[in-house]
Amino acid sequence: MSRLGSLGERMYRGEVSYDFVGKRKRWFVLSLVITVAAIVGLITPGLRMGIEFSGGAVFTVQKNDQKISQEDARKAAEEITGHTAIVQKLGNDKLRVQMSELDTAEADHAKKEFAKDLGIKVEQVDAQVIGPSWGKEISRKAWQGLGIFLVLVVIYLAIAFEWRMALGALLALIHDLTITVGVYALVGFEVTPGTVIGLLTILGYSLYDTVVVFDTIKENTKNITSQSRFTYSEAANLGLNQTLIRSINTSIVALLPVGALLFVGGGLLGAGMLNDIALSLFIGLAAGAYSSIFIATPLMSWLKEQQPEMKDLARRVAARRASDRAKGKDQGDSQDGPAGELETISLAKGPEDAEPPTATAGVGPQRGQRRQPVNRGRSRNRPSGKRR
């Protein structure tokens, strides 16, 4: 068995554990810094919307045997129209020149002048014009689809689990969305319909990781208030550690083909729309893997710890451990950490079979029932049953 597989088994059994939930403050601060940077990127340079959203014209140039570079096409387009042009390579024989704020008449004139300046035939230039009203409609539909997706996610998680888990998952999704869009704004990538498709895909993938973790936590915390050995946060942290290797493996496996599509398909082959989808997927998958581990579960655990019954459980657990230390019991038996205790209870017996709390909770494990002495004189003067 590989070292990673062996580590995963040990983490599942609770032999090795990292306190993700207990150190949630540092993760929240780190996420806050990243989110603020993303928001600053959205405000300062802002998103560069594609013509599908803002309107404009797209010229597809067939180079054939002519040696036309991207820089030559960009300079020619900007000199003719006076607008900023974005040039992309499509395979080895095509160039995609995109310009905003052009209507149909201007596009027809620019097409002829463009072909003349590049030294090619007019038939080698294909022009497509997208009106601003159509772009606004596409933008509205995109935001509407995103809103419906988030609402359905919250409703499903609230029914399948509870509202605290739904809120944790929702904030993790918003976290992923903000970071991905912020990166687009900071580096100046163009937002296209392919970007929207990629965003919706990564939100679903991030939600999948979060649901897997929440389902494990739900099993670990079943009837958790009927014992006094571990708190809710400790049980949630065990569930997170149990699924950690799985989350890492699935994220890496998903990032490898997306990275190949982005760097090989987009960088070398100029894949156009595939490049936009791969870019949003690559950024979003990395952010989703982070949020499912460091945001969703710690946030949900903090919300659960605010419940009165969970506060009472935390007090009973603290009292029991203090009593065990006071009695001078071996530290490995009384306070071997959340991982060891949770392994014995949630994996071997299950929380529902754990020791029920009593009026003297925190004193330690109860002893067996005291055996009553046998009254040997109670059979005296009884008939023996023999016939005389």
Residue 312 has pLDDT above 80, yes or no: yes
Q: What is the DSSP string of 67-88?
A: ---HHHHHHHHHHHHSS-EEEE
| Alpha carbon of residue 297 to chain centroid | 11
What pLDDT sits at residue 353?
41
- Note the helical H segments in the chain: 3-13, 24-43, 51-54, 70-81, 104-118, 132-160, 163-187, 193-220, 232-242, 244-260, 273-291, 297-305, 308-326, 331-334, 337-342
What token pair was written down for 77?
């387009």
Q: Are 294 and 241 in contact, with CB atoms under 8 Å apart? A: no
What token pair was written down for 319?
């009292």
What pLDDT sits at residue 315?
92
The widest CA-to-CA distance across the chain, in whole angstroms, is: 136
The residues spanned by each domain of the chain are: 3-48+135-305, 56-130
| Per-residue pLDDT tens digits for 144-200 | 888 888 888 888 888 888 888 888 888 888 888 888 888 888 877 778 777 888 888
Q: Which amino acid is at 373?
A: P
Which homologous superfamily does the CATH classification assign to the domain defined by 3-48+135-305? Multidrug efflux transporter AcrB transmembrane domain (1.20.1640.10)
**Residue 303 to residue 320: CA distance in whole angstroms:** 24
Q: Sign of the CA dihedral 243, 286, 32, 167? A: negative
* Architecture (CATH level 2) of domain 56-130: 2-Layer Sandwich (3.30)
Residue 331 has pLDDT above 60, yes or no: no
| Per-residue pLDDT tens digits for 143-159 | 888 888 888 888 888 88
| Per-residue pLDDT tens digits for 217-276 | 888 888 888 888 889 998 888 888 888 888 888 888 888 888 887 777 655 555 556 677
349 Cβ neighbours under 8 A, 6+ residues apart:
none
Question: Which one, of 367, 370, 348, lies nearest residue 358 by Cα?
Answer: 367
**Distance of CA 71 to CAs 92, 128, 268, Å?**
15, 21, 17
What pLDDT sits at residue 365?
37
